[in-house]
Structure 1
Amino acid sequence: MSPGSTVIDLLIEARWVVPVEPHAVVLENHAVAVDQGVIVALLPIAEARAAYAPRERIELGEHALIPGLVNTHTHNPMTLLRGLADDLPLMVWLQQHIWPVEGQVIGPEFVRDGVELAVAEMLRGGTTCANENYFFPDVIGATYRRLGFRATVGLPVIEFPTAWAKSQDEYFERATEVHDSFRGDALIATAFAPHAPYTVSDQSFERIRVLADQLDIPVHLHTHETAHEVEEEKRKSGLRPFQRLQQLGLVNDRLIAVHMTQLTDGEIAACAETGVSVVHCPESNLKLASGFCPAEKLRLAGVNVAIGTDGCASNNDLDMFGEMRTAAMLAKAVSNDAAAFDAAYALRAATLNGARAMGLEGKIGSIERGKQADLAAVRLSDLETQPLFHVASQLVYATGRHQVTDVWIAGRRKLADRILVDMDVDGIRARTHAWRDRIAAIDAHG
């Protein structure tokens, strides 16, 4: 230890650091200093070695160090339904396969085992935070916390009885209980998660608006996912779903609007004016033929656009590298502009914009002093990412998630040279196989 050196927990030295903020910056031969889970400095390697005496030093001579990816729309217990009913329209998929199977398997064990499988997959793909939307949020949050994974856990509201709650009042009572149980948690936040305008009443939305303000939490909502949804709402109420949400006071900076494939220019302008965040789920929308989110129009209007995978039952993976690439390419095709949704913005949408949607931009989403050390190291020396001219372009357009070697959440290493830390991989695989057999038998007799 050199005289005057400051002792810290961890120093990560990388060939490139992509901090995301400032935008489109790539720093060569830089180091991130971490202490007590927090980033204390980002500086050239030589300066870092002179200033700090780390208890642990990681040298990443062939890697880009990026903020941990933020998956801003997931249904992670549904990893256990991956590939169950592919190549079907949305409502056939839901009503004839997913919902009937869920009705027979949903419960704490299904949720716990699905989330654990999802965490393993996400960590191996550089994702360190998920915005979760599913039933049994108490179990979901407890599982994420046990595994040391960061998440915003949705508090579900829907108008029909489920295994989680039987009445409108019970949904709200349980939501409040779960929120209180995670209040102040270092890793777990909460959001209201009303399913969609077509499954949630005006009365429930009004209660959500009041409670979201009181509890200071976001509202995470599927909306304008398909043209059919919009037409059905117009037939029932005479309003587009977004108009109905406006009348109910939900179009504001708390709203995390997911999918948004059917938007008018006026609705885009309203999102920008009120601070709505839009979550683009390109691969799920493509696979279910739901439509195309006008992601570049939203970006140009100043809307905060984040990226999510949706659930594994409709995607069929939690691969945020694939999602970034698809988001960027789809935006170019939809806008007929090859310069649209460029690589730097795609990476931002998959990190800082997701954090902002959840109200976590002060904690995560970029590599900045004072933020949590949620980080992912991506090896760029593989033949598949050679030659390398532009780091951000390579990350978005050529890199596969298998090139993620190391991941940290709040400074704790969760993936070490592709090996999951403190996770029972064999146990996860065995439990997943057992669920596969049970679910296949149910679907066969459905």
Structure 2
Amino acid sequence: MTKKFFGTDGIRGPTNQHPMTAEIAMKVGQAAGRHFVRGEHRHRVVIGKDTRLSGYMMENALVAGFTSVGMDVVQVGPMPTPAVALLARSMRADLGVMISASHNPYQDNGIKLFGPDGFKLSDEDELKIEGYLSEDARLAQAEDIGRAKRFEDARGRYIHAIKMSLPDHIRLDGLKIVIDCANGAAYQVAPSALWELGAELITLGVTPDGKNINYKCGSTDVATLQETVVASGAHIGIALDGDADRLIIVDEKGRVVDGDQLMALIGSSWNRNGLLRGGGIVATVMSNLGLERFLKSQELTLIRSKVGDRYVLEEMKKGGFNVGGEQSGHMIMLDHGTTGDGTIAALQVLRELVDSGKPASEILHLFEPVPQLLKNVRYAGGMPLDNDKVKSVITEAEKELNGNGRLVIRASGTEPLIRVMAEGDNSDQIHQITERICNVVEEVAD
């Protein structure tokens, strides 16, 4: 059975357009509440959000949905996605909800759901909730309607939790750090945690106005961060996205460090310190071949999953791994959380910076990436990847690579895009192949 509402990371889309309407949000609350109301205890859901304007509307609709089926609601306001996962588990809630469209512009929004264990829901759970969306809600009796209240200590709890991810001896005194919070969910908690650990801070993207989330800032646009790091003589730059579950780093020379290099650093560092489990790390099919070769040189393995941090997590659980992530900057460290956490990942990088005494440019470029090109082709509808012309050009490209590279062509789970990625040792060949495939996809997508 194919899901109609849930993508690779919850439900997402332009607000006030199906499915991101207040009406659907209320129904999601009712359906998810129905699925998680089990037993006779008072049921509780924790709801957080990022800073986009539509968060108020979606939050109120979800509160109405959950309370109408008998669930109490705890509202924590603007908080990172991993904070909602943590609070859902630590507060013994039956469900956690994050209202966010992550790195998307403010016009979009989304709903991410977490179970009582703090992990994102399984495909099975999401399908069950979708089934309830088409049925009449099971409304609570008047005396059983849920209550809603705001929880004022959420920020303090999360700041304490992320600081505890570092050993006691690690302090950030003497480090000048530029942090860009994308005018998003972490605009208060991430700078507070770094400051409390002793860092000298320069902050960017910490003045949200409802419409500037991810706009020319954060992990998807690091130009200002690069300029600020170099101009200020900072030791490192940290960029989070709108809901702070992903991380991109800029070294002291202004060079961008992606998730693959971060996984190489964290994986090898944890391995040296006897912390790494599973004999390697988990990444997606999009991670660079250079990462795989580096890990092999360290006698570590790389397990690849489908794109999406939930699939990374599935492979981590299956193989007993405690480090995994995506090239885009999602970092999952199961010793410290149940989902991607950009701030905790940044602290692991800063720990290595402190312990090594070396500059960021030296510790953060552990391998030479294989030439890799990723292009997106937007389409209006249909299934371009099922077209015979597209299948044919992909087959020809695979023959041309002849085992000396990789192709990953897939439909995005969050946007109407076909993502075309090619990598190999011959840069010219990779560019030609990518262009050829994109041209054919564009042709059939018109």
Report the TM-score, using the length of structure 2 for normalisation. 0.27
Report the TM-score, using the length of structure 1 for normalisation. 0.27
Q: Which has the higher helix share?
A: 1
